[in-house]
Amino acid sequence: MTSVPDATVTAGGQRDQSPAAPGGLRRRFAGDPGATGEQRLAGLLRQLCGRVWLWPALLTLALTLYHSGVPVMWQDELATISVITRPTGAIWAMLHNVDAVHGAYYLSLHFWIKVFGDSPVSIRFPSALAMTVAAVCTALIGRRLFGFRAGVAAGLVFALLPTVARYGQETRSYALVVMTAALSLLMLLRALERPGPGRWALYTAVLALAGYFNLVSLAFLCGHALMVLLEYRRTRAKSLPACFTAAVLIAVVVLYPVIHYGSAQSTRQIGWIPRPTVPGLASIWPQILGSTSLAVVLLLFALLAWRRPERRAVLLVTALVLLPWLVIWTVSHGHVSYYLSKYLFFVLPAAAVLAGAGLATLRLRYLVPVMVALAAVVVPAQRAMHAPLSHANYLYPDALWFTPRDYRAAADLVAAGYRPGDGIVYGQGNSIWWETSVGVPYYLPKDKQPQELFVGRTAEQRNDLWFTFCADPAACLGDHPRLWLVAVDHPGNAFASVPAKQSAALREHYTVVERRTVSGLTVFLLDRKA
């Protein structure tokens, strides 16, 4: 695939200047040998500020780090915390039973927290970095296909997407999936422009990495295949389809362990995802982008892209957005459904490139106000994404079907009234998925951790995500003078969110002396009966 020339004429009649080749970049950075240190630094800064990726990267990093510790960890993030704080061997053993598809992420974050700790800001920082790298790749892809101005616009559109900020603060693998999707497309473009063993090897490695972070994301290969096919028809270079096929096959071989265990575990892990409906073909896009109004605006920008002379490139990027979406929609009518917005985030870089290509057709005097207006459009969604209980709404902007659980507020109540010797019981309501017994201890200070009761075998002992209750609650109750009971969804009844045998044991020996309610949780204090 040929590179975009240094000067491209947009549909609006404006010349779009692309930066010089990397060799020229090195020469300019070297500077004049006779210049002073200050002059060289000033020149370096000027050149850096002209990089197509710089401002998208800075904006993405700023929006993903902004208040990154404010949103309360929600259930999926708490599952991550439960796993990554275990010994390496225990994580490996668990992956043979459940969550093999997230194994690479768990192990990566496990070693990360050994160095940087497990505070909310620390464990979310890798996601922020991944989204920043994705912004860089998006800008570079836009420049390669449509010129410098389109690259900057694509990178800035990507940075402004509410879901980029939201999942750039999520302690899950989705940001890394977006990063590897963008990086794989960039590596493919490089391989098609100047084929060689090194470039195809890099592409193969990124494909495998993408699969280890999320197998579903490899649906983008249908778009890549179309790109290779069209380039082969243009050049008749037989090596292109052969190298692409070899790259995919090698990646599949490397991915065999996660394919094997992931397919066996799929029904348990994602069997709850409903099959898509015809209305779901379009309704999922506001969830992917994080805003209904933004989905409409980006559609208009995408239509503008068809004014460009590079129709072939526009067609390819459109296919990169739409083909994987349609493939996943179709496959999800089978045994297992994958049709969930967060499994489709890997299309975000291509969507941003398409929107950037459309924006770049505008004259500069119109482009700047339009970008400012776009930023204004996303402000409500951006504010919502950074709110304290925002992470629970994984289907935003759709309404949430449950009350968000404020584990941090519940922990604050327990910590404020804690006394040495206290015990604690976590009522999970009708589902252990709420991870109450992980969320509250995570936010409690290390020196104010009441002893948890009614646990038979821990999740780590079971090599699983969840624990089991002890068979005889009365024997497991102990003789604590006071107990805390953190209940889910039962503010009026201290014992309704625990199983019947636990409830009977608690009623016999304890009485409720205090009750405080926070979002989705009620914290009861129980005194032992005389």
Convert 261-276 to b/e letters by CB count within 10 Å (16 or more is b).
bbeebbeebbeeeeeb
Q: With a threshold of 0.85, does the pTM exceed it?
A: yes
Sign of CA dihedral 367, 373, 375, 377: negative
How high is the pLDDT of residue 34?
61
Q: So what's the pLDDT on residue 26?
A: 36
Q: What is the pLDDT of residue 41?
A: 61
Contact 46, 31 (CB under 8 A): no
pLDDT value for 492: 80
What is residue 45's predicted lDDT score, i.e. its pLDDT? Answer: 60
SS (H, E, C) 191-256: HHHCCCHHHHHHHHHHHHHHHHHCHHHHHHHHHHHHHHHHHHHHHCCCHHHHHHHHHHHHHHHHCH
DSSP state, 8? E
State the Cα–Cα distance between residues 486 and 498, nearest whole angstrom. Answer: 10
Give the per-residue pLDDT at 35. 64
Going edge to edge, which strands form the sheet with 521-528? 451-452, 423-426, 482-488, 521-528, 510-518
Distances (CA, A) of 168 to 191, 216, 253, 297, 345: 29, 19, 30, 22, 12
Q: b vs e for 286-316, b when ≥16 Cβ sit within 10 Å of the residue's Cβ?
A: bbbbbbeebbebbeebbebbeebebeebbeb
User: Which residue is listed with tokens 């917005």?
Assistant: 341
Q: Write b or e for each residue in 128-164: b if 16 or more Cβ atoms lie within 10 A of its Cβ, otherwise e.
A: bbbbbbbbbbbbbbbbbbbbbbbbbbbbbbbbbbbbb
Which one, of 100, 160, 101, lies nearest residue 131 by Cα? 160
The per-residue pLDDT string of the chain (530 residues; one tens digit each, 9 = 90 and over) reads 544 433 343 433 344 444 433 333 333 444 555 666 665 666 666 666 678 999 999 999 999 999 999 999 999 999 999 999 999 999 999 999 999 999 999 999 999 999 999 999 999 999 999 999 999 999 999 999 999 999 999 999 999 999 999 999 999 999 999 999 999 999 999 999 999 999 999 999 999 999 999 999 999 999 999 999 999 999 999 899 999 999 999 999 999 999 999 988 888 888 889 999 988 888 899 999 999 999 999 999 999 999 999 999 999 999 999 999 999 999 999 989 999 999 999 999 999 999 999 999 999 899 999 999 999 999 999 999 999 999 999 999 999 889 999 999 999 999 999 999 999 999 987 777 899 999 999 999 999 999 999 999 999 999 999 999 999 999 999 899 999 999 997 778 888 889 999 999 999 999 999 999 999 999 999 999 98
Three-state DSSP at 334 gives coil
User: How many CB atoms are located within 10 Å of the residue 469 CB?
Assistant: 18
**pLDDT value, residue 429:** 77
Rounded to whole angstroms, the Cα distance separating 472 from 423 reads 17
